[in-house]
Chain A
């Protein structure tokens, strides 16, 4: 898997994650800036670092599991791991203009 393949897979994952909405805001988690990082490694191993709008929001587990499930279904992904972080904490300024 060369760098271009990794970049392509990263973009496909990002596109797939756009189907997941934050239930409260109703916008997708990518445009909201909740997906901090997507790292694709050799063999289709993927690490996603994400956050939620509110620390310990009751939707946290559901969002994390949704990201996990969504990434697994992207062709080319062999292993996916989702890490939840609050460093830095999400702020509304992290939203993309389209959100």
Chain B
């Protein structure tokens, strides 16, 4: 072998050397990751759901047990929003206040380790990102509030029902009570709302007087359900209740001539409060909301109109006072018929027809008055009226009617004229007329007294026999009085004041009243004379000349005698007394006498008057009271 060759071989071996042969890598046979079973789920949400209130949504990642979350994020139309992630679920909040109305996209990106156990996974580079995309609609309006189905008053309280078909997108649900000037909102819990019913135990509707501000602000209420979102609100269909002031009926109960009680009916919502608070002439009293009766201390003025103030008390809202004006009389305790708007001149009772006749002045034309005779039944129901009669005189004070006790015909006094009217036909059967202002006539029974103003002669004539009685009076100052049966005549003469009795065709002086100061009217029943003088009422038996008297009034006393009840009614400017001629008992009472008539007769029809007829006490307003005849 060549030495040089070997030398080169040795040097080459040194230069090349050898290298270490490592073992193979430690290969682990693993399955690559699969993503078929992993998904993101957004809970309680359906694609294109509407978001109209702040809403927190939860989503979950359903992965394999060995897969770990690396990151998760939510993009709202490309903009990342905050997420709270814990365990296997995350939450994020959609706040519609940040967005205009429209459609938005939610992208949930969840990045997690593969779970394969590979080197790449352990190194953190084998990650999988799962995406889920949803859309939602921003609607700032809350769900439509349910419709109110009914609002009813049952057993004095208010019961409401509403539909239970409604959406859940609201931040607040309220029962709205919309009054004309304000709204009350009662928060409803979800449970209360879902029940669809509500018992309103506090609302009381009431109305004040129309001349006060906001008098009807609590007279009606509209119930509805109100849904609120953070931005908007809406009301469901409503149901209304309103209060009619006439629903609480108030009336006056007549107890006696000096005391009354008020009676009121139940308030429609009586179960929602306990009591009314009434006030009457400074007197306040409490009355049950379910109705009741209370006797007031204020003395009753017969025929006077009364107002009563009242309002529900103890309510949540201070309700206004309402004035029950001209509280009507209870017709079981007092008779009522409507004369208020008539110019009533006189009321008489006719036993033949068992009806009442009333003279009513109906018209005035220049110097003439036109009147009719109205007939009312015993129950004071209007039956009919006569033809109109024209009274050709400017002095309506002379108009009057009376009943002829002999034939029960109706006698009409019309100063220069006198009429007899058939009570059955209401036709004039006799008429005595002279020039309008030249004389004054009185017809009683068959006796016609005629005073000629020019000659000052008084002629007394028996019209049945057409005989002029004697003596004939001259120098007469005025024709005083002719008794209903035509038996007594009272005249004012220049020489004095005398009462005559008519015996046959002769006039016989009975009493000389020349020294007597008359202060009121004059009335004779059969042989009993009644008149007012100064501060007393005098009663004289014209047969025996025995007299009695009692204190009453001062001047212008009106005296009326009712033979049926044997009671004497005396009146003066609203002060009245009923004198029992049998027992001498006197009942004193007040009555309303100032009449505020309006219209055509506002200047004449100024006073009410009282009458006692057939045991019945009348007030010319149209009120009557049957007196106890025992």
Q: Do A and B bind each other?
A: no
Binding site for B on A (CB under 8 A): none
